[in-house]
Amino acid sequence: MTEFYHDSEKLLVAVDCIILGFEDNKLKILIGRRKMEPGAGEWSLYGGFVKQDESLKDAAKRVLRGLTGIKDIYMRQVGAFGELDRDPGDRVISVVYCALINVADYDNTLLDKYGLTWVDMDKMPKLFSDHDLMVAQAIDQLRRHIKTEPLSFNLLPDLFTLTQLQNVYEAVLGEDLDKRNFRKRIKQIDFIEKTDLINKKTSKRGAALYRFNEKAYKDDPKFKL
């Protein structure tokens, strides 16, 4: 702490984390019951207060690593929420981050540890305080950015079929996509590579497996679905 700003009011700053995953052709969100007042027992996002020795980003990384067990996780800042009455406990400004993960990479032992559960986005219950608004804003941003940024690959395994990729887009956008047009567009994108591997779990004939080539994307990041 410094000797300055003694006459200024001090406020609490928190980070709240929205963790989205994809499983069974559904976009899912990780939520839990609050274990503290105010709002104990209500469904909620998870987060924490920013410490004196960490940045907003570092605070979000700390919370996300604890909740998922994943170190290298995609996340982006959604925005800041600071209505006067947003937290009945105190004057708290929350900066929200959204993370995208492949559910198969998630450490399921953490579900019991933190009292968490994966819920289908279309079945998400009412959340504590303004957390519903946070989620709505995050989904709106995801829908806008997924068409111009390679976000969908964070929700998929390293190797995926074109059907799986289309299912992700449909789950995020909340609408059906024409299969022929979708595949035609995807096959024109250089950084979505077809491999020699076949996935025989989904059909007897098998489906070709693809992967995201991050280097190719960085070399030519133009992308629009």
Q: What is the mean pLDDT of residues 40-61?
A: 96
Residue by residue, DSSP assigns 98-145 as: EEEEEGGGS-THHHHHHTEEEEEGGGPPP-STTHHHHHHHHHHHHHHH
Weakest mean pLDDT among 29-38, 184-193, 198-207: 198-207
The whole-number pLDDT of residue 219 equals 81
Is residue 201 very low, low, confident or very high in pLDDT (cuts 50, 70, 90)? Answer: confident
Going by the DSSP 8-state scheme, the letter that residue 16 receives in this structure is: E
Tell whether the model's pLDDT for residue 204 goes beyond 70. Answer: no
CB 168 within 8 A of CB 152: yes
CB 55 within 8 A of CB 61: no
Is residue 2 very low, low, confident or very high in pLDDT (cuts 50, 70, 90)? Answer: low
Is residue 222 very low, low, confident or very high in pLDDT (cuts 50, 70, 90)? Answer: confident
Cis peptide, bond prior to residue 157, ω within 30 of zero: no
Q: What are phi and psi of 53, to 5 degrees?
A: -105, 20
**Could you tell me the two tokens for 206?**
């098998």
Is residue 203 very low, low, confident or very high in pLDDT (cuts 50, 70, 90)? Answer: low
Residues 65-118 have pLDDT tens digits of 999 988 889 999 999 999 998 988 899 999 999 999 999 889 899 999 999 999
Q: What is the mean pLDDT of residues 183-203?
A: 87
Burial of 141 (0-12, 13-18, 19+ CB in 10 A): middle
Question: Mean pLDDT in the chain?
Answer: 92
The whole-number pLDDT of residue 4 equals 83
Buried b / exposed e along 167-191 (16+ C-beta atoms within 10 A): bbbebbeeeeeeeeebeeebeebeb
The whole-angstrom distance between residue 158's C-alpha and the CA centroid of its chain comes to 17
The whole-number pLDDT of residue 72 equals 86
Q: Report percent pLDDT > 90 for the chain.
A: 76
The whole-number pLDDT of residue 31 equals 97
Three-class SS state of 39: coil
Q: What is the mean pLDDT of residues 197-219?
A: 85
The residue assigned the tokens 């929205």 is 18
Tell whether the model's pLDDT for residue 55 goes beyond 70. Answer: yes
Tell whether the model's pLDDT for residue 163 goes beyond 80. Answer: yes
First to last CA, the chain: 49
The whole-number pLDDT of residue 6 equals 82
CB 124 within 8 A of CB 31: yes
